Amino acid sequence: MLTTTKKILRQAEKFGYAVGAFNVNDLEVIEAVLEAALAEHSPVIIQTSEGAIEYAGMHALGGAVHGLALYTPKYANLPIAFHLDHGKNPELVKEAIKSGWYTSVMIDASGHTFAENVEITRDIVLEARHYGISVEAELGSIAGIEDFVSVKDQDAHLTDSKQTRAFIRETGCDSLAVAIGTSHGAYKYKGDPKLDLERLQKIKKMVGHTPLVLHGASCVPEELRKKCTALGCVLKDAQGVSDDLIKKAIKAGINKVNIDTDLRLAFTVGVREALAKDPTNIDPRKILGPAKKLITELVRKKMRLLGSSGKA
């Protein structure tokens, strides 16, 4: 069943766990994520970036999610949210709101001044309210590159805990993405992975029951990284957020965890393995099938890590 991230995260915040938000670009990944949610009996957030919309189209992606969520009996009781991730273009966010596909959107005006961020976010929240859609906003910038999201390390700034309460009050946003040391992409850290958990704890005290979101949270699993490298991938120094840090972040107040890179890695390994195993194979189903299986296995592990398994 389709629902909003607000409803899903309200339960997560109340009971102290997090829900995975998984970026998708095509039907195979959508199906793989839903199969994982079904197996784990977990709520799930399926999200598309601006880049995914440019690649596959808003209506194609929305139609696929709605078709599976609403017309496939086995998914009937699964809480599924369809979310626009990192909407930096307000006009595109409004298009998503009015499209009838999305049950929640993110407006990312974190690159603007605080006052401008408040104004842009408030405008999106007012628009979304007419359609019963929940809104995620961002305060502080996440470093790295993910589709059209690009913030140089030296320009990235962590979330100021003192601003969070006023920001939520003035914008009316339903959840807040915070910058505490993660980054987008497969190369998150040059040294040991670190998160500013003390800052996160201060933020949580300021925002009360508003759910907090952690972007750039892929861990770049060592097993998949080694397999991909052995199959020809170039992933030198790729490093993500450890499972231990994710657990500590959830304990400190994170309720939504965004994951993209790990899915891309699993997909790539699956496809490369299939092609290497049988060079004569030209059947897309037999090439993409193993990739779907690996993504489902990965997402199931993520759901158990986040504590959302059994919460549907």
Catalytic residue numbers read: 85
Q: How far apart are CA 258 and CA 307, in angstroms?
A: 14
Contact 148, 106 (CB under 8 A): no
Taking the CA atoms of residue 188, residue 241, residue 86 and residue 197 in that order, the dihedral angle to the nearest 10 degrees is -110
188-195 long-range contacts, Cβ below 8 Å, gap at least 24?
Answer: 188/144, 188/216, 188/218, 188/220, 188/239, 188/240, 188/241, 189/239, 190/237, 193/239, 193/240, 193/241, 193/242, 193/245, 194/245, 195/241, 195/245, 195/248, 195/249
* Residues β-bridged to residue 2: 80
Q: How far apart are CA 141 and CA 258, in angstroms?
A: 15
Judged by DSSP in three states, 213 sits in strand
